[in-house]
């Protein structure tokens, strides 16, 4: 290369570095220099992006483009590029974006709608772990992508997390939903249901396309439990069937709803109206009167549970960079999960380490547990704290306790964290009262009861995975509830997410809950971490819960499929002495779901081996120090390579 050309290249490089939007652009030029052609390869140019959509879009749906470049919105929804449809006869969309020709771009496509306030609402987005990438290009750069298809042909599309909208769910999820007054006019075994958003006059159907309202419904059916657009015919419902209406509404609207009931041949049976003012708090149960077509006679009554999911309080920290919501590679082994750390404490012959303490978590890790399971509650002052039960037995300081009647049961949700740490702690084991050190009385930090969630995340090694079980009291089939809960459900979840997203990233971490609605909330409030639905299954050990979704492994799988969860955490009893056990696991895997088995029936080396053999994704059991497979030499995630896999969870500095 002649001396004059070298001088021109260096001069141009200096000028470009001074004017580059980012050091990354300048670095790209430096890397690109390869003789005299380098300076010609880095110039402002229109980069073309084109994508084909293989499914039909609604008339109000648009296609967006986002990526790691400022011109693409830096992964943020508000700054994303709107693509234009090439013509009305196909679903090809494109955009030209001005950027440097030498830039290596990472990007994704998504579909969305705009409401009347010009707010965007994500419908579907390309949700594979790693985004699309294209290298620098000067000429001949056109390429047609296919929405949702990665370079290897795998298709992965998921619903977006909620940003500027609210989700209302109306849930037919119990054995007995209707009280019928006139069986001639209303037959609950021969009914189709339509949900209709209403204008303020409570009569006029809302123009859902104009107002960006999305009405979907799912009828739980084995392997076919998918949220779908509501059809004009409505959805059938019979006793013991689970049907859930899932309505996404811009947060600028305050809609009311009508439920229309009719027969298979289209004959109207009756209707009821749900006024917006009735939808108080995050959840509740509506007591509705179903009137006949003339609106003169009550022909049936309906007790209808509802759920309101609001955006995460810090939703602006979420973006399109990546998602681990379904990240569980098939190359991973069957994982060993330490239940409450190294196992339950308030029993005969407990482990030395107290359950749900740092010492117990670290003991499980010491004997090669891949993950630990812990339980999260919220105190009255909003502190996420680790403990299993909804409350604890206590007594005043200085008082001698000789009888159970002298103990008071205090719910964690009713006291502040400082008050909790000061309480004496008792348990009754085989009718014997035993006192344990309170948080404040324990001198060794790792042994202290009630560690805060943030402390656990900061103290435990990143190579130890965590199953974060969010505790919420369940209603029982025959009446009653596990415990009282007065904290707002959206507030509860937001407090946990604030800590997990900022302090829990960079490690294997998954959410779980026995509360199906908690799972739905965590799924739609964030797009980073996976969620499992815990189920009790067909057990004889406890009274079943009221929600049908908790009662069988298949219903749990259906619920996970409907709301795009990573999978389920079924009770071991569902698979013991069951010739269909391996087939049940196989069907769940065929839907792309994981299955983490839990329960006392897992507590032996033979049981751990059995669940491995039938295809469980992971097994959660007590006493990792006793039942860990003997040939195991380390925790699976205990390597720097494994840690690198999870760095994408963390926000760039």
Same domain for 184 and 83: no
Domain endpoint, select from 106, 124, 159: 159
Contact predicate 299/286, CB 8 Å: no
Token pair recorded at residue 198? 């209403």
Residue identified by tokens 């999978």 is 567
Judged against a pLDDT cut of 50, whether residue 21 lies above it is answered with no
Judged against a pLDDT cut of 60, whether residue 78 lies above it is answered with yes
Same domain for 155 and 171: no
Number of Cβ within 10 Å of residue 224's Cβ equals 12
Tell me what pLDDT residue 294 has.
84
Tell me what pLDDT residue 140 has.
60
Q: Is 12 within the bounds of a domain?
A: no
Q: What percent of the chain stands above pLDDT 70?
A: 93
Same domain for 273 and 238: yes
Q: What is the CA radius of gyration of the chain?
A: 28
Distance CA 384, CA 221 (A): 36
Q: Is 554 within the bounds of a domain?
A: yes
Tell me what pLDDT residue 518 has.
99
Average pLDDT along the chain = 92
Judged against a pLDDT cut of 90, whether residue 137 lies above it is answered with no
Tell me what pLDDT residue 88 has.
75
Distance CA 520, CA 307 (A): 10
Distance CA 114, CA 120 (A): 5
Q: What value does the mean pLDDT take over residues 393-407?
A: 97
Q: What value does the mean pLDDT take over residues 342-365?
A: 98
Token pair recorded at residue 264? 């298979």
Same domain for 185 and 155: no
1 alpha carbon, distance to own chain's centre: 58
Tell me what pLDDT residue 29 has.
37
For 585, the enclosing helix (H) or strand (E) is helix 581-590
Q: Is 173 within the bounds of a domain?
A: yes
What CATH number corresponds to the domain at position 101? 2.60.40.10
Judged against a pLDDT cut of 60, whether residue 302 lies above it is answered with yes
Same domain for 187 and 76: no
Same domain for 557 and 417: yes
Q: What value does the mean pLDDT take over residues 97-120?
A: 94
3-state secondary structure of 525: helix
Q: What value does the mean pLDDT take over residues 556-579?
A: 97
Note the pTM of the prediction, 2 decimals. Answer: 0.92
For 457, the enclosing helix (H) or strand (E) is helix 453-459
Token pair recorded at residue 265? 């041949």
Highest averaged pLDDT of the listed ranges 107-121, 288-302, 632-646: 107-121
What CATH number corresponds to the domain at position 198? 2.60.40
pLDDT tens-digit profile of 114-125?
999 999 999 999
Same domain for 169 and 84: no
Our count of domains for the chain comes to 3
Tell me what pLDDT residue 34 has.
39
pLDDT tens-digit profile of 204-239?
999 999 999 999 999 999 989 999 999 999 999 999
Domain endpoint, select from 104, 136, 159: 159
| Residue in 133, 127, 195 with CA at minimum distance from that of residue 161 | 127
Q: Is 32 within the bounds of a domain?
A: no
Same domain for 482 and 433: yes
Tell me what pLDDT residue 177 has.
96
| Residue in 329, 250, 243, 150 with CA at minimum distance from that of residue 548 | 243
Same domain for 249 and 227: yes
- Rounded to a whole number of angstroms, the distance between the first and last alpha carbons of the chain is 41
Number of Cβ within 10 Å of residue 73's Cβ equals 20
Same domain for 344 and 481: yes
Judged against a pLDDT cut of 70, whether residue 13 lies above it is answered with no
Residue 607 is part of which domain span? Answer: 335-649
Q: Is 106 within the bounds of a domain?
A: yes
pLDDT tens-digit profile of 388-399?
999 999 999 999
Highest averaged pLDDT of the listed ranges 37-51, 90-104, 121-135, 138-152: 121-135
Distance CA 81, CA 109 (A): 10
Tell me what pLDDT residue 141 has.
66
Q: What is the DSSP letter of 406?
A: G
Domain endpoint, select from 159, 184, 202: 159
| 393-407, 467-481, 626-640, range with the lowest pLDDT | 626-640
Q: Is 21 within the bounds of a domain?
A: no
pLDDT tens-digit profile of 588-632?
999 999 999 999 999 999 999 999 999 999 999 999 999 999 999
Same domain for 271 and 374: no
Q: Is 17 within the bounds of a domain?
A: no
Tell me what pLDDT residue 602 has.
98
What CATH number corresponds to the domain at position 573? 3.20.20.190
454 alpha carbon, distance to own chain's centre: 20
CA triple 135-138-144, angle to 5 deg: 60
pLDDT bracket for residue 23 (50, 70, 90): very low
pLDDT tens-digit profile of 305-331?
999 999 999 999 999 999 999 999 999
Tell me what pLDDT residue 3 has.
46
Q: Strand ranges (DSSP E) for 387-530?
A: 391-394, 408-411, 425-429, 432-436, 465-470, 509-513
Same domain for 412 and 476: yes
pLDDT bracket for residue 45 (50, 70, 90): confident
Token pair recorded at residue 508? 């294997």
The DSSP annotation for 132-145 comes to EEE---SSS---EE
Q: Is 35 within the bounds of a domain?
A: no
Please list, residue by residue across 5-43, b when 16 or more beta carbons sit within 10 angstroms of its beta carbon and e when fewer do. eeeebeeebeebeeebeeeebbebbeebbeeeebbebbe
Tell me what pLDDT residue 66 has.
98
Number of Cβ within 10 Å of residue 89's Cβ equals 7
pLDDT tens-digit profile of 145-192?
999 998 788 899 999 999 999 999 999 999 999 999 999 999 999 999
pLDDT bracket for residue 138 (50, 70, 90): low
Judged against a pLDDT cut of 60, whether residue 36 lies above it is answered with no
Residue identified by tokens 């719910």 is 411
Token pair recorded at residue 437? 């050190």
């Amino acid at each position: 290369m002649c001396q004059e050309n070298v001088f021109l290249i260096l001069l141009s490089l200096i000028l470009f570095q001074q004017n580059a939007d980012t050091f990354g652009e300048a670095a790209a030029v430096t890397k690109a220099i390869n003789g005299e052609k380098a300076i010609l390869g880095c110039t402002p140019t229109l980069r073309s992006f084109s994508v084909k959509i293989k499914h039909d879009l609604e008339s109000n749906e648009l296609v967006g483009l986002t990526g790691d470049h400022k011109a693409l919105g830096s992964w943020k929804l508000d700054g994303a590029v709107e693509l234009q449809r090439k013509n009305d006869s196909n679903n090809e969309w494109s955009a030209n974006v001005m950027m440097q020709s030498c830039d290596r771009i990472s990007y994704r496509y998504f579909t969305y709608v705009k409401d009347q306030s010009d707010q965007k609402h994500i419908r579907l987005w390309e949700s594979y772990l790693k985004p699309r990438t294209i290298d620098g290009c000067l000429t001949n750069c056109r390429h047609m992508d296919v929405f949702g298809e990665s370079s290897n042909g795998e298709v992965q599309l998921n619903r977006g997390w909620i940003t500027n909208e609210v989700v209302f769910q109306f849930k037919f999820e119990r054995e007995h939903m209707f009280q019928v007054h006139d069986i001639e006019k209303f037959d609950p075994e021969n009914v189709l249901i339509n949900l209709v958003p209403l204008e303020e006059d409570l009569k006029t159907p809302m123009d859902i396309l104009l107002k960006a309202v999305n009405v979907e419904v799912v009828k739980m059916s084995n392997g076919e439990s998918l949220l779908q657009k509501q059809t004009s015919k409505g959805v059938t419902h019979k006793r013991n069937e689970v049907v859930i209406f899932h309505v996404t509404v811009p947060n600028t609207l305050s809609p009311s709803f009508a439920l229309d009931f009719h027969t298979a041949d289209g004959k109207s049976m009756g209707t009821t109206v749900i006024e917006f003012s009735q939808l108080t708090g995050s959840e509740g149960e509506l007591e509705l009167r179903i009137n006949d077509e003339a609106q003169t006679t009550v022909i049936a009554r309906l007790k209808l549970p509802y759920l309101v999911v609001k955006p995460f309080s810090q939703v602006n920290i979420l973006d399109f960079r990546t998602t681990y919501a379904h990240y569980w590679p098939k190359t991973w082994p069957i994982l060993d999960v330490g239940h409450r750390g190294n196992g339950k404490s308030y029993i005969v012959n407990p482990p030395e380490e107290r359950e749900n303490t740092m010492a117990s978590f670290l003991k499980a890790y010491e004997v090669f547990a891949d993950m630990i399971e812990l339980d999260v509650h919220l105190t009255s002052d909003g502190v996420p704290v680790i403990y299993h039960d909804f409350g604890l037995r206590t007594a005043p300081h200085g008082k001698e306790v000789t009888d159970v009647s002298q103990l008071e049961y205090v719910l964690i949700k009713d006291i502040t964290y400082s008050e909790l740490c000061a309480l004496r702690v008792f348990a009754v084991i085989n009718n014997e009262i035993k006192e344990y050190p309170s948080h404040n009385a324990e001198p060794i930090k790792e042994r202290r009861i009630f560690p805060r969630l943030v402390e656990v995340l900061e103290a435990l090694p990143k190579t130890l995975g965590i199953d974060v079980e969010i505790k919420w009291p369940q209603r029982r089939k025959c009446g009653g509830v596990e415990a009282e809960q007065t904290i707002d459900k959206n507030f509860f979840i937001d407090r946990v997410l604030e800590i997990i997203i900022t302090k829990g990233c960079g490690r294997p971490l998954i959410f779980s809950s026995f509360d199906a609605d908690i799972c739905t909330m965590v799924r739609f409030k964030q797009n980073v971490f996976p969620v499992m639905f815990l189920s009790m299954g067909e057990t004889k050990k406890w009274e079943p819960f009221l929600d049908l979704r908790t009662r069988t492994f298949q219903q749990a799988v259906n619920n996970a499929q409907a709301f795009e969860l990573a999978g389920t955490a079924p009770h071991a009893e569902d698979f013991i002495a069951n010739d269909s056990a391996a087939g049940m696991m196989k069907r769940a895997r065929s839907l792309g779901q994981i299955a983490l088995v839990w329960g006392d029936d897992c507590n032996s080396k033979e049981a751990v081996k059995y669940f491995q053999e039938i295809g469980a994704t992971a097994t959660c059991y007590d006493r990792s120090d006793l039942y860990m497979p003997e040939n195991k030499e380390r925790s699976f995630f205990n390597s720097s390579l494994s840690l690198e896999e999870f760095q994408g969870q963390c926000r760039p500095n």
